[in-house]
Amino acid sequence: MSLAQDRYPELQQYRKSIDNIDAALVFLLAERFKITKEVGYYKREHNLPPGDPEREERQIARLRELAASAGLDPEFSGKFLQFITREVIRHHEQIRGDG
Amino acid sequence: MSLAQDRYPELQQYRKSIDNIDAALVFLLAERFKITKEVGYYKREHNLPPGDPEREERQIARLRELAASAGLDPEFSGKFLQFITREVIRHHEQIRGDG
């Protein structure tokens, strides 16, 4: 039981919304990594390079636009994509390692 | 036009799904930061400390459980929360700086 619970009911309400959004983010991320793993297997099968710089540039530009329209810092959307992509690369390296 | 478009239609399908999920992630993150900014103003108003270690521990534990149930690496869910929290702290510092 933290300091927030009783004395700051508004804070408690904010936190419930944050927790709901975090659950949604986790489930979406799980789904995204399921797809990028499929992409990893597909690329291995077709002997495609793990990265595609053109695709990545388009993704960053698109996310910046979406971020701006949503009121999210466009810089942050770029950092976010990089953060996710590092994990995707780690998965793809595992997939290549699997032979 | 990348190498994928014509020769690898399955890859193109995967990428469309990834793009849809990324749009959903961006809009959810925008909503999450709207709430954490409100929390920043609220904490400033009530003279509450910016961090709440107990709350953060509960968040990490909960996200690990959700991640496991979703098939997402629980380690990754912790890193993800840290990544988001760094941005939240940056916003809160700005809010405090605003006086």
CATH of the domain at B90: 1.20.59.10
Predicted confidence (pLDDT) per residue in B57-72, tens digit: 999 999 999 999 999 9
pLDDT digit string, tens, across residues A45-87: 999 988 889 999 999 999 999 999 999 999 999 999 999 999 9
Domain containing B81: what range?
4-97
* DSSP reduced 3-state for B1: coil
Could A29 and B80 be called an inter-chain contact, meaning their C-beta atoms sit closer than 8 Å?
yes
Residues of chain A contacting residue B59, judged by C-beta atoms under 8 Å apart: 19, 22
Task: List all residues of chain B from 12 to 71 with a beta carbon under 8 Å from chain A.
Answer: 14-15, 17-19, 21-36, 38-39, 42-43, 46, 48, 52, 54-55, 58-59, 62-63, 66-67, 70-71
Query: What pTM was computed for the model?
Result: 0.91
B31 vs A32, A39, B25, B72, CA distance in Å? Answer: 19, 29, 10, 22
The backbone torsions φ and ψ at residue B48, rounded to the nearest 5 degrees and listed phi first, read -95, 150
- The domain tally of chain B equals 1
